[in-house]
Amino acid sequence: MKFIKIFLLLFAFTAGVAVAQNASQPPVEKILTVEASNGSKQSGVISFLANSTQPRILVAIIPGNPVLARATVNYFTSKVMIQQEGSFVVRERLRLLDEDIATLVVDCRSDFSTSCDDGYQMSEQRFKDIRPLMDLAKSSFPSIKQVWVLSTSRGYFTSAAITKYSNNYFAGVVHTAGVVDMVVKYPEAITKSETPQFFVHHADDPCNITRYSTAKNVAAQIEAPLITVYGGSGYYGGACQAHTQHGFKGMEEKVMANISKIIKSSSVEQTEIR
pLDDT in tens, 151-188: 999 999 999 999 999 999 999 999 999 999 999 999 88
Distance CA 46, CA 163 (A): 22
Mean pLDDT of the chain: 91
Distance CA 201, CA 21 (A): 23
Q: What is the pLDDT of residue 24?
A: 60
Distance CA 101, CA 263 (A): 9
- Tell me which of 64-73, 74-83, 121-130, 149-158 is least confident: 74-83
Rounded to 5°, the CA angle 36-37-43 comes to 10
Q: Is 223 left (phi over 0), alpha (psi -120 to 50) or beta?
A: left
Distance CA 120, CA 111 (A): 12
pLDDT over threshold 80, residue 265: yes
pLDDT band of residue 18 (cuts 50, 70, 90) is low
Does residue 225 have a cis peptide bond before it, meaning omega lies within 30 degrees of 0? no
pLDDT over threshold 50, residue 7: no
Torsions phi, psi for 221 (to 5 deg): -60, -40
The CA-atom distances, in angstroms, between 104 and each of 32, 89, 249 are 9, 11, 22
> Of 192, 121, 112, 127, nearest to 158 (Cα)?
121
Question: Comparing 2 with 135, which gets the higher pLDDT?
Answer: 135
Mean pLDDT computed over 184-212? 95
Q: What is the pLDDT of residue 5?
A: 39
**Domains defined for the chain, CATH in brackets:** 11-273 (3.40.50.1820)
The CA-atom distances, in angstroms, between 145 and each of 112, 133, 209, 221 are 31, 16, 35, 29
The CA-atom distances, in angstroms, between 85 and each of 15, 92, 105, 117, 141 are 11, 9, 10, 20, 25
Instruction: Please give the model's pTM, rounded to 2 decimal places.
Output: 0.91
Q: What is the pLDDT of residue 188?
A: 86
Look at the chain and count its residues.
274
Question: Comparing 229 with 10, which gets the higher pLDDT?
Answer: 229
Distance CA 160, CA 134 (A): 18
pLDDT over threshold 70, residue 91: yes
Q: What is the pLDDT of residue 189?
A: 87
Q: What is the pLDDT of residue 26?
A: 79
Kindly give the pairing relationship between strand 57-62 and strand 146-152. parallel
Distance CA 209, CA 153 (A): 9
> Of 19, 35, 36, nearest to 27 (Cα)?
19
